[in-house]
Chain A
């Protein structure tokens, strides 16, 4: 931020304050756009939770998750399970609230390993089907909008796989193994 401000001082000092307020406005606009998405999905996920549907879905994949993330917290494992399922389905808006809640729960046990792993998985984008991009592409008049699905899947698999491997290696090297 300091570098940016310094560069701006030299090139165009008059645009400094407008840039700050434009940024703030964009941030607020994004927050509102996100709120709309979160409202829709968190409403649905509350319904799913109330009917014990989430508990059922995550019961299927909770075992491997507690092992991979090295956590014993059932509630956090359930959130991670839902986050991963939503990501795979390509509904990122539904996935984020689960991830943040899982991170908060893991913070209480100081489980940085699980937090970082969850962050890595989310930030390298795991998605079975890139629905948004395909929708944009077919509306731009593509004749075969679906042909990017396979390369996208391979590319995300490469980035997620590579990141997880590197992270596990770095954890082993630093020797900070958490129970």
Chain B
């Protein structure tokens, strides 16, 4: 598996050389586009993270975790993982930190860890994607898609925990 990424790079570059493209010039032009692209994202990212930080520091996040963990455990999601389910839609790095913590506390092969891995691997940072994708669109109200995504993610969370039990 670890050969895939180098192979992708090599084959793209080899093909470009074969097509007589100036690889260095094209690559640096791409990096230049990346600078412009990231600069457009910075304001949105900062605002999103300020809100996440407020949510965390105000204790609302912890309160929500406490309130929802009985609900989640009734649905078959282990209580320890409620926090992961709640932060994953907001923060990729936060949930990654939590995932590594779960792995080191419970051992990599325990049920909790496997479940956490599947949850992490099968969901996305929904609100973050939302902010990045629609940063430059005029119509910002997309309640129906967001609601659909949250519903489906919850459904797949429940299924993931079930699947980990059987597989």
A147 to B113, CA, bound (A): 12
In-complex Cβ contact of A127 among B119, B121, B138 (8 A): B121
Contact A46 B13 (CB under 8 A): no
How would residues 35 to 63 of chain B score, 1 for a CB under 8 Å from any chain A CB and 0 otherwise?
10110011001111111111111111000
A50 to B137, CA, bound (A): 28
Question: Besides A42-B30, A116-B142, A127-B122, 19 other CB < 8 A contacts?
Answer: A22-B57, A31-B42, A39-B34, A44-B12, A46-B26, A46-B30, A52-B19, A97-B33, A100-B132, A103-B133, A119-B134, A120-B149, A123-B126, A123-B149, A124-B123, A144-B109, A147-B167, A155-B156, A162-B156
Residues from chain B with a CB closer than 8 A to the CB of A104 are 136
Interface residues on A, range: 35 or more
A151 to B136, CA, bound (A): 36
- Quick check: is B68 within 8 A (CB to CB) of the other chain? no
A155 to B56, CA, bound (A): 28
Chain A, interface SS category: helix
CB-nearest residue of chain B relative to A150? B167
Measuring CB to CB, which residues of chain B are less than 8 angstroms from any residue of chain A?
A: 1, 4-5, 8-9, 12-13, 15-16, 18-19, 21-23, 26-31, 33-35, 37-38, 41-42, 45-60, 93, 96, 99-100, 103-104, 107-109, 113-114, 117-124, 126, 129-130, 132-139, 142, 144-145, 148-149, 151-153, 155-157, 159-160, 163-164, 167
- Quick check: is A141 within 8 A (CB to CB) of the other chain? yes
In-complex Cβ contact of B30 among A44, A125, A138, A155 (8 A): A44
- Quick check: is A75 within 8 A (CB to CB) of the other chain? no
Chain B, interface SS category: helix
Residues from chain B with a CB closer than 8 A to the CB of A118 are 133
Q: How far is the CB of B66 from chain A (nearest CB, A)?
A: 14
Q: How far is the CB of B21 from chain A (nearest CB, A)?
A: 5
CB-nearest residue of chain B relative to A49? B26
Residues from chain B with a CB closer than 8 A to the CB of A3 are 60
Which residues of A in the span 126-178 have a Cβ within 8 Å of any Cβ on B?
Answer: 127, 129-134, 136-138, 140-145, 147-148, 150-152, 154-156, 158-160, 162-163, 166-167, 170
How would residues 90 to 117 of chain A score, 1 for a CB under 8 Å from any chain B CB and 0 otherwise?
0100001101100110010000100110
In-complex Cβ contact of B45 among A31, A115, A124, A125 (8 A): A31
Contact A123 B45 (CB under 8 A): no
